[in-house]
């Protein structure tokens, strides 16, 4: 599978009741997300495997990639489409050796342009910059200036550039105006009363910008 722009959906165990995990995530995916990441920082390994396999069934039905946060080995065990790497995680070359050439490898760049350019050079399939706004997922983190998002969108060509952090339906257009390929969200969907409706609203905004920028990447 190939990653495009659009709406990148990321799970959060604090926001999704375990007894309704798969049901809630499927409702959000049904709303039109283009990619899904399972992000379970503090969940036991065996439980993550179970959750991952459930989500893999959902993403296969809807034809979108499933990405696992942090661990290429965990992604391989689940049979996911790829892995998302942050600072302190395995490098891109190691992830490729574990998952294969066809795997999707994404990289968190925070507000660091050098990290984004390095990820591009090493063959990342997408990069993510943020946070543009304060977010409960990353408390205390200084927001990434919009100038960094604009520079990333201008300099990192050939792969999608996502913005992540505090993005809502109210501010998504301001973020997409920087030229990034898409937006990644957690709280604005899984903290909403109706995740499917929240995704549909965000997708309408993202799709408008995707159509305007087709062919730029």
Q: Would residue 93 show up in a list of annotated catalytic residues for this protein? A: no
Active site residue 61: no
d(CA 9, CA 140): 22
> From the candidates 34, 39, 96, 188, which is the catalytic residue?
39
**Angle in degrees, CA 25, 28, 33, rounded to 5:** 115
Whether 78 and 56 have beta carbons less than 8 Å apart is answered as yes
Three-class SS state of 130: coil
Q: Please name the residue that has the structure tokens 């905004």.
A: 205
One of 30, 54, 115, 138 is an active-site residue; which one?
A: 138
Nearest to 25 by CA among 45, 53, 55: 55
CA atoms within 13 A on the CB side of 196: 6
Among 110, 113, 151, which residue's Cα sits nearest to residue 130? 110
Active site residue 53: no
**Residue of 34, 71, 96, 108 with catalytic role:** 108
Q: Which residues are catalytic?
A: 39, 108, 138
């Amino acid at each position: 599978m190939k990653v495009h722009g659009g709406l990148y959906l990321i799970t959060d165990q604090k926001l999704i009741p375990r007894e309704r995990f798969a049901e809630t995530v499927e409702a959000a995916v049904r709303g039109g997300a283009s990619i899904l990441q399972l992000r379970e920082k503090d969940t036991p390994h065996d439980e993550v495997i179970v959750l991952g396999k459930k989500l893999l069934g959902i993403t296969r039905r809807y034809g979108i990639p499933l990405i696992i946060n942090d661990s290429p080995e965990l992604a391989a065990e689940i049979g996911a489409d790829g892995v998302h790497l942050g600072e302190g995680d395995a490098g891109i070359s190691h992830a490729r050796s574990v998952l294969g050439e066809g795997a999707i490898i994404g990289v968190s760049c925070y507000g660091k342009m050098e990290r984004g350019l390095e990820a591009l050079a090493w063959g990342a399939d997408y990069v993510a910059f943020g946070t543009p706004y304060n977010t409960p997922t990353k408390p205390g983190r200084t927001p990434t200036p919009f100038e960094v998002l604009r520079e990333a969108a201008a300099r990192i060509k050939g792969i999608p550039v996502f913005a992540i952090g505090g993005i809502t339906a109210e501010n998504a257009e301001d973020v997409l105006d920087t030229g990034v390929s898409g937006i990644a969200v957690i709280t604005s969907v899984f903290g909403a009363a109706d995740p499917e409706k929240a995704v549909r609203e965000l997708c309408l905004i993202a799709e408008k910008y995707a159509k305007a920028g087709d062919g730029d990447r």
